[in-house]
Amino acid sequence: MPRAIGALPVPVTYTRLMLQRWPGKAAAILRETGLHATELPGLNAITGEQQLRVLRNAMDLAGRPDWALDFGRQLSISAHGPLGFAALSAPTLGEGLDVLGRFARIRAPYLGFATVQTDRQLRLVFDTGLYPLGRLELPVTEILLQIGKAYVDAVCGPDAVETTLHVALPRPRHAKTYSSHLRAPCVFNADFSGIALPASLKGLPCPMHDEGTYRASLLRCREALDAVLSPDDVVARAAHWLAAHFDQIAADSSPPAQPRFEQLAAALCLSPRTLGRQLTERGTSFTEMRAAQQHEIACRLLADARFTVSEIGLRLGYGDAANFLRAFKRRTGIPPGHYRRGQH
């Protein structure tokens, strides 16, 4: 079950930016939030409910339909704390977008995010249906488009790639202003909201890649995600724990031991019997979840030419290369070597 929106932590950064955008209007921006401008400097976070109230107040105060597009221009990718630093310092564009898809909820926990690859496109998809947004749905989508476009521009340059913006809503009256604000073609009434790039750019190196910054920022993102996940969502917490473990395996030159079921149960403060029952009730198992994380990291490592297929299999806990080949082919239909050639 998702957490109540009033229990979701949201960084106070965006509210402070709102106050900077409309100086002298603090009372109007903070109306009905229970917040006061004098206390904001001492806060790290507010609730999702308060953040949405701030956005509604900003909409009323702005009095213009393109206010969110204008505000979104203030949000450079570095304005998003460890999330922004992790995306900017990632090895490749694809891995940076994957960071945004996996961890953007630490900045906007009332939204959903995912990175999706099709035959032709690499997409960062926004889900505005987790909580009722009402009249905020379009403005929030517009702000997200600005943030996503800012990241792509930071990695590739504003004119270097063909970026397409998608909005799963009807064309608004102020759509003619999109070109000046976003500088990319936009499709309305689309089957998803988000940004799309050519899939061939997945392996494009990020010019600001720094392995130390990347790993440290990922760790901070994982810690922050713990505050967003529902304590009752055992599957999400188990997946989060396994992903962190396999991230360490991918990064460490001397990989740690493979994650064990008893370790996960202890980390979630559950008995192994209780954890097994709860995973079964949710239609999954530790073995299935571990295999999914192994496969995800395998795909990431196969995109890195430093590792041979055999080294990747051993790093991920397969006894020999043949076991890794069989497991990978069972999930994808192709051997890992063919997958690697396709990525490049």
d(CA 84, CA 78): 5
Helix (H) or strand (E) holding 125: strand 121-127
Count of CA atoms in the C-beta half-sphere (13 A) of 304: 15
Indicate the SS3 state at residue 291. helix
Residue 162: per-residue pLDDT: 85
Which pLDDT value is given to residue 137? 97
pLDDT at 103: 94
Q: Domain coordinates of the chain in residue numbers?
A: 5-63, 77-201, 233-343
What pLDDT is stored for residue 344 in this prediction? 52
Instruction: Give the model confidence (pLDDT) of 100-146 as tens digits.
Output: 999 999 999 999 999 998 888 999 999 999 999 999 999 999 999 99
pLDDT score for 136: 96
DSSP 8-state secondary structure symbol assigned to residue 276: H
Domain 233-343 has CATH 1.10.10.60: yes
Mean pLDDT of 291-313: 84
Provide the pLDDT for residue 67.
Answer: 94
pLDDT recorded at residue 74:
81
Work out the widest C-alpha separation in the chain, in whole angstroms: 67
How far is residue 260 CA from its own chain's centroid?
A: 26
Please say whether the dihedral angle defined by the alpha carbons of residues 136, 140, 142 and 143, taken in this order, is positive or negative: positive
Can you tell me the mean pLDDT for 150-154?
Answer: 91
What global pTM score does this model have?
Answer: 0.82
Burial grade of 332 (CB within 10 A; 0-12, 13-18, 19 or more): middle
Taken as a whole, the chain contains a residue count of 344
Return the SS3 of 47. strand
Q: With contact defined as beta carbons under 8 Å apart, do 181 and 73 qualify? A: yes
Confidence of residue 253 (pLDDT cuts 50, 70, 90): low
